[in-house]
Chain A
Amino acid sequence: MKKIIATITIVMLVVLSVLSASAATQINTDEQKVLDALSGSITTSDGSVTIPDSYINQVKQYLLAKEIDATEATTILAKINEAKTVTKTVPGTSFTKVYDNMTSATKNNVIGIAQDAADVAGATLTVNATAKTVTIADSEAGTFVFDLNAIKKTGVSGNAVMAGIASVLLLGAVSYVIFASRKIALGK
């Protein structure tokens, strides 16, 4: 789920934090279950893929900055499974290829699942289509940018800031489609 979201770019939400750095916690058993679910292999229609290590590390550091209880973890695990069910119908043998092979409706569906999961944790997830990053903004833990580019390609991230507006509108457009499609799915 997170890797799919990772290829979608995210808007930085309320980037500047005037709060001091948060005290860390430890990763409890419920949070470890979430990490284990993300670390396992994910079945696609023609094989399996795994979420990149960088994402797992970023999730770890996010979970170190905030506490998730058993109820929240259970719901998040359900969302992860929901996303994994979606990817079973998508071909791809690598993380980014799975996303590229998704239809618009599937991408929108997965974004919606990811946003629901973030919402459970009390965070807001946004996508920056241009910079291809995912941001989780948590009033307690701070802002975490999920970025697949470990080694910076100099000069490319120039569009990241400007993409702020593009991402908001894209998010709006995507969310509209998600909402509309979910209404249809629910038979409303």
Chain B
Amino acid sequence: MHIIRNNSNHVFLRVLTSFLVSLFSFMIVALLIINSTFLNAQFIINVFENHNFYVQMYNEYSQEVEYLADPAGVDSKIMSSVMTQEEMQQDIVNTVYSAYNYKGAAGFSIDKDEIENRFFDKLSNYAISLGYTVEGDISTNLQYVSKCAASTYETYAKFPYIDYLGNFSIQLKKAFGIGLVISMIIVFAMIISLYLTTEWKHRATRAIVHALSGSGLMLVIAPMAFLLSNKIKYIAITTKSIYDFAVGYVEEVLVMFIISGIGLLIASVLVFLFVYKRQHEKALH
């Protein structure tokens, strides 16, 4: 193969190759992070657990369903005792996994009818304890309360827009896979070409160091700037559980980018030191 010696054109080509390795390495890491976060149901579940989501969501649901008690003339605790936090947590988890793995009706769905029946049974028993007979208008009215309560539960247990997000994720996964493979091929090819066409291998390694540093900085600078700006905290979500989740989710993704970038920077330093040491040893000999 034609060996490229060190004139200005060759330096330019080496720098260009180094830049391309840097850019596509950044893309590889970015795609891997996106694949393991935005396109990954488990990541969402982890964020739930890290930010006390289930407890907050259940408390918000309880308050909302207790609001139905006053106009219905029933004890508010009757309403909030029908569904437990554990049940809601399981429904939330099942909904998220299902959205990310199944399309349309094939996946899990909350059994609203069953929940409605549970509310109705509880309300009927309460009505009977007060001396009412559950028939006619009373039965119809309690049925309506049960329907509203079940609807409220479903709204809280089914994460908003999860179907849309899940479907989007399923469609993107394939494209991401292709993008990842193409980027890896390009990086691999660039590195091979760099070594084969550069006479002094330590210069090729130095170019790789620059590429690694560049990728590392790309992964760190923008995410760090966004994280430190705290802009995400200004998002106008008025439900605490969802707000904490959204902020936590974005922050954890940004931190992953930053940690990956720092990892690449450390790797570039280590490679640089290795090259420097080799050069120094060669010089001594």
Direct A–B contact in complex, judged by CB atoms less than 8 Å apart = yes
Contact of B148 with A162 in the complex, beta carbons under 8 Å:
no
- Is A164 interfacial (CB 8 A cutoff)? yes
Q: Given A162-B60, A162-B155, are A155 and B239 neighbors across the interface (CB < 8 Å)? A: no
Cβ of B28 to closest chain A Cβ, rounded Å: 28
**B16-24, B41-49, B62-70, B270-278 - the one binding chain A:** B62-70
Cβ-defined partner of A161 (8 Å) among B64, B68, B144 = B64
Bound: A154/B246 CA distance, A: 31
- Is B262 interfacial (CB 8 A cutoff)? no
Interface residue total, chain A, C-beta cutoff 8 A: 21
Contact of A13 with B145 in the complex, beta carbons under 8 Å:
no
- Is A17 interfacial (CB 8 A cutoff)? no
Beta-carbon nearest neighbor of A164 in chain B: B238
Within 8 A of B (CB), among A136-186: 154-159, 161-166, 168-169
Q: Given A159-B151, A161-B64, are A154 and B71 neighbors across the interface (CB < 8 Å)? A: yes
Q: Given A158-B64, A159-B151, A161-B60, are A166 and B161 neighbors across the interface (CB < 8 Å)? A: yes
- Is A12 interfacial (CB 8 A cutoff)? yes
A12 / chain B contacts, CB cutoff of 8 Å: 238
- Is B136 interfacial (CB 8 A cutoff)? no
Contact of A13 with B64 in the complex, beta carbons under 8 Å:
no
Beta-carbon nearest neighbor of B67 in chain A: A158
B156 / chain A contacts, CB cutoff of 8 Å: 162
A14 / chain B contacts, CB cutoff of 8 Å: 236, 238
Cβ of B66 to closest chain A Cβ, rounded Å: 10
B67 / chain A contacts, CB cutoff of 8 Å: 157-158
- Is B242 interfacial (CB 8 A cutoff)? yes
- Is A11 interfacial (CB 8 A cutoff)? yes
Bound: A158/B60 CA distance, A: 10
Beta-carbon nearest neighbor of B236 in chain A: A13
Bound: A40/B60 CA distance, A: 42
Beta-carbon nearest neighbor of A155 in chain B: B148
- Is A108 interfacial (CB 8 A cutoff)? no
Within 8 A of A (CB), among B64-89: 64-65, 67-68, 71-72
Q: List 24 A-B contacts (CB under 8 A).
A: A11-B238, A14-B236, A14-B238, A130-B155, A154-B68, A154-B72, A155-B68, A155-B71, A155-B72, A155-B148, A155-B149, A157-B67, A158-B67, A159-B152, A161-B238, A162-B60, A162-B155, A162-B156, A162-B239, A164-B237, A164-B242, A165-B239, A168-B235, A169-B160
3 nearest CB pairs, A to B: A154-B71, A155-B148, A164-B238
The chain A residues found within 8 Å of chain B, CB to CB, are 11-15, 126, 130, 154-159, 161-166, 168-169
